[in-house]
């Protein structure tokens, strides 16, 4: 009886232990599943002393090791770690691994197949593109500047605000005909821009002819082609800058010319709808207005031509005109008209040296528009500086003085004592502006520096 009771008691204890072990294993499995988001207790064994547990299988050991690392990971989670906040730097990770293998003797070629064994090239800072030379830019743009071209807008055009209705077919056809004439037959030293979106607007730049007080200057004209064209002439406005540089060019921009109907004329001087063109208007401004003795353009003054009084008055008028021309140059340099900035910069880069030489020549007592002699060194430096060959000026065909001959300075015939001081101020301003545009100003800057040096004691 006792024996059977003990056997029954032992069986009951074994059954209870077995059930307890199964329950514990299930609980541990649930813990491992929950360990991905929370921590778990360390795995141990709890059994009755009477329960005989066999040696664990290798798979069980691996599971226990996995539970160990999972426990550590879960402990990290308890510290508030969020893997989404971590910014993985692959280059830094690879470099860290590569440093560990620097001392190993690896077969050649292994580094090429293992990313973290490859040397990481240092990140190069972005290099700024080399700054181009302003003078070279001006020269290139000037060389590419066309005599005739179309543009899209004329926001600063004097007649931009004029209302322009829908043009009729005959008007458009005639304007396009004038465009073709300008593109084909424009003479040298005249540049034109027309607007595609406003066929009634045109802008022209005229270079002053050599031998005149306007030489090497730039003069701008805005043209409006009215709906009555070609029955009536176009309307022309001169960019005066507030200066009356010619009897036919008013300080308010008015252009007096028989062809435009702003001055009396007869015969072929007046506008002819069948024959007159826009090209004829521009050529007339260059030839008839910007001439060598504009004093006689004043109505009634032509009767004084070839008289002592008339000649002296004409020379004095040229002095004043050249001063105004220099001021117009500064005006254009500082505020170039729209679509002509490249022409202004390039033109004065090429002609700046010649204009400065002319200023010194005139301050020495010579007449405005007279030939400015240049020695061989000056001419050679002009071409070496990259200036465009064949540039027109009042000194382009100047005779060279003979060696050993000192050029005599003519007596000052000027009645106004303010000419030289005024031109000297303009000369200094032009020297600065031309130097910025890349003109050959070396000779004049050296002279200025020498004069500013204190005298040796």
Catalytically annotated residues: 256
Dihedral of alpha carbons 439, 442, 443, 447, sign: positive
Q: Over the chain, what HEC string results?
A: CHHHHHHHHHHHHHHHHHHHHHHHHHHHHHHHHHCCCCCCCCCCCCCCCCCCCCCCCHHHHHHHHHHHHHHHHHHHHHCCCCHHHCCCCHHHHHHHHHHHCCCCCCCCCHHHHCHHHCCCCCCCCCCCCCCCCHHHHHHHHHHHCCCEEEECCCCCCCCCCCCCCCCCHHHHHHHHHHHHHHHHHCCCCEEEEEECCCCCEEEEEEECCCCCCCCCCEEEEEEECCCCCCCCCCEEEECCCCCCCECCECCCCEECCHHHCCCCCCHHHCCCCCCCCHHHHHHHHHHHHCCCCHHHHCCCHHHHCCCHHHHHHHHHHHHHHHHHHHHHHHHHHHCCCCCCHHHHHHHHHHHHHHHHHHHHHHHCCCCCCCCCCCCHHHHHHHHHCCCCCCCCCCCCCCCCCCCCCCCCCCCCCCCCCCHHHHHHHHHHHHHHHHHHHCCCCHHHHHHHHHHHCCCCC
Please say whether the beta carbons of 170 and 231 come within 8 A: no
The position carrying tokens 């200066």 is 243
Instruction: Give CA separation, 400 vs 162, 371, 373, 374, 430, in Å.
Output: 53, 11, 6, 6, 26
Residue 349: exposed, middle, or buried by beta-carbon count in 10 A (0-12, 13-18, 19+)? buried
Q: How many residues does the chain have?
A: 457
């Amino acid at each position: 009886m006792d024996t059977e009771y003990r056997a029954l008691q032992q069986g009951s204890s074994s059954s209870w232990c077995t059930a307890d072990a199964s329950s514990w294993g299930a609980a541990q499995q649930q813990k491992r599943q929950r360990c991905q988001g929370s921590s778990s207790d360390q795995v141990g064994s709890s059994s009755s002393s009477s329960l005989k547990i066999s040696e664990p299988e290798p798979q069980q050991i691996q599971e226990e090791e996995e539970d160990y690392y999972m426990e550590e990971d879960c402990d990290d989670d308890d510290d508030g770690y969020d893997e989404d906040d971590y910014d993985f730097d692959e280059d830094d990770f690879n470099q860290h691994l590569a440093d560990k293998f620097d001392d190993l003797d690896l077969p050649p070629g292994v580094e090429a197949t293992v990313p973290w064994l490859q040397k990481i090239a240092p990140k190069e800072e972005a290099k700024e593109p080399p700054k181009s030379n302003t003078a070279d830019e001006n020269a290139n743009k000037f060389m590419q500047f066309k005599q005739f071209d179309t543009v899209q807008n004329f926001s600063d055009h004097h007649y931009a605000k004029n209302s322009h209705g829908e043009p009729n077919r005959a008007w458009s056809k005639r304007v396009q005909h004038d465009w073709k004439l300008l593109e084909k037959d424009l003479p040298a030293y005249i540049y034109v821009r027309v607007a595609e979106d406003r066929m009634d607007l045109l802008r022209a730049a005229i270079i002053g002819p050599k031998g005149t007080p306007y030489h090497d200057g730039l003069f701008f004209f805005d043209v409006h082609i009215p709906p009555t064209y070609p029955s009536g002439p176009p309307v022309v406005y001169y960019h005066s800058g507030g200066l009356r540089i010619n009897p036919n060019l008013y300080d308010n921009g008015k252009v007096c010319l028989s062809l435009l109907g702003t001055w009396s004329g007869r015969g072929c001087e007046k506008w002819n709808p069948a024959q007159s063109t826009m090209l004829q208007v521009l050529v007339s401004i260059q030839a008839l207005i910007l001439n060598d003795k504009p004093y006689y353009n004043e109505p009634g003054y032509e009767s004084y031509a070839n008289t002592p009084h008339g000649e002296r008055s004409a020379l004095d008028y040229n002095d004043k005109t050249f001063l105004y021309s220099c001021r117009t140059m500064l005006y254009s340099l500082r505020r170039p008209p729209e679509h002509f900035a490249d022409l202004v910069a390039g033109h004065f880069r090429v002609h700046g040296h010649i204009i400065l030489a002319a200023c010194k020549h005139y301050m020495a007592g010579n007449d405005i528009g007279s030939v400015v002699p240049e020695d061989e060194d000056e001419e050679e430096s002009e071409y070496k500086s990259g200036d465009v060959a064949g540039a027109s000026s009042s000194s382009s065909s100047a005779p060279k003085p003979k060696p050993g001959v000192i050029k005599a300075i003519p007596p000052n015939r000027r009645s106004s004592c303010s000419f030289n001081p005024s031109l000297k101020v303009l000369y200094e301003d032009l020297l600065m502006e031309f130097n910025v545009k890349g003109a050959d100003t070396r000779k004049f800057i050296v002279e200025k520096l020498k004069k500013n040096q204190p005298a040796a004691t």
